[in-house]
Amino acid sequence: MTIRVLCECGSRIDAPLELAGQRARCGQCRRILQIPEDDASPIALAAGERGSSERPSRGATRVAERRVMASVFQVSGAAASDSERQAARPRREKSARQKAKPAARESQAELFDIWRRGVLFPLKKESLLTIAVLSMLYGPMSTAAPFMLLSGPFVLRSGLGVMVLTIMIVGYLSYFLFQTLRTTAQNETDLPVAAAYDADEIMIDLWLMLGGTFVHFSPLAVLSLASRFLGVEVPAAVDLALWLGMLSLWPMAVVSAALHTSVLAANLWTVSRAVLKLPLKYGLTLGVMIGLVLLSMGVGYILPQPSDTAGFIATLLLAGFSGFASWFLLFFTMTACMALMGFLYHANRRKLGWFRELDQRY
């Protein structure tokens, strides 16, 4: 027979009867245990805690049993909990990665869809028709404008003529581009009334385009004036970096001014907050727009130009085709850029938090 001894660390010792009343060392925690005279008391306290080897009373034995068993269960439970947490950590990390992968793929697919729809938007029926009409009108107008201003009537050579031509060219261009932006910001895929002419809308959109651009770049103007007034010279590298930064934020400033119908919405604080809410998507979309501009410039560079050796009719036809193609590329690129920004806004409108929902306008 043996005498069972439980240590406070939770280990169990089965001591032979010959060791009754003697001391033994716990193999787990190295405590010195007092082996009772018989196996009536299965609990032995450390000798350092109890000065004598007297057998504890039955009540004290039960209290000690409960205390030791409770400590044993707490220690083992904590160890089990730690081990379970350590074992579950890789599973949780793997589960989080598995959940993140579909979300990342969904975000990439959404961004690619924005780019696809934005680039193809100018090829829609109404958009393409409007771009072609504008190209045919603006080509001869831009060619004849210098002669009208230099040798035309006095009204055209005055400031009034310049203002009228500016409103006709820049105003309707702003109107057309903002129509594209507002339409795509509502996730529409075509311009149902893109060729409509509304003088009030043209004046409003011209003001939003020019005024919003002025408000957006006004910090640079203030900084330049302050540096000149204080006699502080801004390094060329810093000045170039500031201009490039403001130019990179300018598309979002135009979007903010057009959708809020306020030039003050193009301020640097509103625009910066919007870009910081979707930096990667905006940066990549801006890269796509820059690529479209460079591609348009490359195609325009290789277009045939009129030569002096060709006849008058051939030169006239070639000049007309070259002017039409140049304006067509310009309108196509600008329409695609506005469509890209509109679809980007619609996909992230809740994250930007500008409005609850846009009302259907067209």
DSSP state of 14: E
Residue 51 has what pLDDT? 38
- In sequence order, the 6+-apart residues with CB closer than 8 A to the CB of 256 are 212, 265, 266, 270, 271, 274, 354
Share of the chain above pLDDT 90, in %: 28
Of the candidates 145, 199, 195, 136, which has an alpha carbon nearest to the alpha carbon of residue 167? 199
Q: Across all residues in the chain, what is the average pLDDT?
A: 76
What would the pLDDT profile of 61-97 be if each residue is shown by its tens digit? 555 555 544 443 343 344 444 555 565 566 666 666 6
3-state secondary structure 218-238: HHHHHHHHHHHHHCCCCCHHH
Top pLDDT among 333 and 68 is at: 333
Of the candidates 173, 121, 123, 118, which has an alpha carbon nearest to the alpha carbon of residue 286? 118
Note whether 33 and 68 are within 8 A (CB).
no
Phi, psi dihedral angles at 24 (to 5 degrees): -145, 155
Q: How confident is the model at residue 354 (pLDDT cuts 50, 70, 90)?
A: confident
SS3 of residue 115 by DSSP = helix
Residue 54 has what pLDDT? 45
Residue 275 has pLDDT above 90, yes or no: yes
Name the residue ranges covered by the structural domains of the chain.
Answer: 2-87, 124-352
Top pLDDT among 31 and 270 is at: 270
Q: How confident is the model at residue 362 (pLDDT cuts 50, 70, 90)?
A: very low
Burial class of 167 by CB neighbour count within 10 A (0 to 12, 13 to 18, 19+): middle
The residues with which 108 forms a beta bridge, in sequence order, are: none
What would the pLDDT profile of 166-220 be if each residue is shown by its tens digit? 667 778 888 889 989 999 998 888 775 544 567 788 889 989 999 999 999 999 9
